[in-house]
Structure 1
């Protein structure tokens, strides 16, 4: 627990994304064979496909999973903070297949020359099943309305507390990024 909180503060995820670090770790495994180790550098090529995500979920509870980049377009100039890569609500008992995709997954796409970006996974416990019908759903072929978002404000709006679990990695530009940009143009 102290390690998670220490690393979230060390990388300034607290306070850039959340006011308080989670206490539990999310495990994230990518189809490329990469398993996320907190704070490790990965390439956009390694994380291009939707991962399998698990945490210590309780049966009968609903959760929200978010993946955000607070460093868009760069850590020095985060004018699009936060850029949302993935948002899934109403995840029942931790079963991602029973969740409602609000923002479809896209991997890392840090622009060339912008250095390392932080990619943060957060899980929140929902107070109950939530009606997300007013939330604009974003497919994985659209970059529209992903930027200038705040997971903290979103979760406050739906009366969730702080994140219960989290993890993150760092990534910088590689030759997959132009392919992702082409995909996001629809």
Structure 2
């Protein structure tokens, strides 16, 4: 699916290390404007906020705000996660996908699965909402590597973990990460619709 490049320019106009998502309705609007639910054939009506923080070797961490343009050098990760706006402490499943590979003009490899992992829970009373896991990832985090001239949409989702997820074998460490049908996977393992999400725009430079 070809993404409207003019929308990328509008959404990715600013670089920031301090902004973050504070309103679920605004996140939904950003997702709809970027045509993310359409590209993934999913319903996205967030009821909570997923805070994604990218640690930096030098300087302050980058906290994502939906639609923010992030330089690739700032995306080494792995990210840190926090959930706001829900009384649930988990467990949760976190997913990250690239919707524009190999290029925004011809995304024939997308979605590419950049991370899939479960067992995320907010159990630290000293830091409410901060997520941690001791469960090995199904697909370990790997840094965005966009190609082409336009930034790619890298999308994070938070799901309530289903009872089927820990034993699922639809996706393993040996499963291709390209052309991954997230909607079908979520349905088959009982994840339902995303609880929360955010996304960043990352270009080759």
What's the TM-score once normalised by structure 2's chain length? 0.74
From 110, 115, 136, the equivalent of 1:81 is: 110
Measure the CA separation in 2 of the matches of 1:17 and 1:99: 26
From 154, 158, 162, the equivalent of 1:119 is: 154
Q: 1:15, CA displacement in angstroms?
A: 0.9
Measured at CA, do residues 40 and 71 of structure 1 come closer, stay the same or move farther in structure 2, by a change above 3 Å? same
User: Any stretches of 5+ residues in structure 1 without a counterpart?
Assistant: 139-143, 175-186
Query: 2:114–2:143: 8 Å Cα contact kept in structure 1?
Result: yes
Measure the CA separation in 2 of the matches of 1:85 and 1:39: 18
Measure the CA separation in 1 of the matches of 2:30 and 2:202: 16
Query: 1:22–1:166: 8 Å Cα contact kept in structure 2?
Result: no
User: Any stretches of 5+ residues in structure 2 without a counterpart?
Assistant: 1-23, 123-129
Q: 1:5, CA displacement in angstroms?
A: 1.1
Q: Secondary structure at the match of 1:123?
A: strand
- Superposed CA RMSD: 2.0
Task: Quote the residue 1:110 is aligned against.
Answer: 146
**1:27 matched to 2:62:** no
Select between 18-27 and 78-87 the one with higher mean Cα deviation: 18-27
Measure the CA separation in 2 of the matches of 1:131 and 1:26: 22
Q: Secondary structure at the match of 1:7?
A: helix
Query: 1:4–1:21: 8 Å Cα contact kept in structure 2?
Result: no
Measure the CA separation in 2 of the matches of 1:43 and 1:55: 24
Q: Secondary structure at the match of 1:97?
A: coil
What's the TM-score once normalised by structure 1's chain length? 0.81
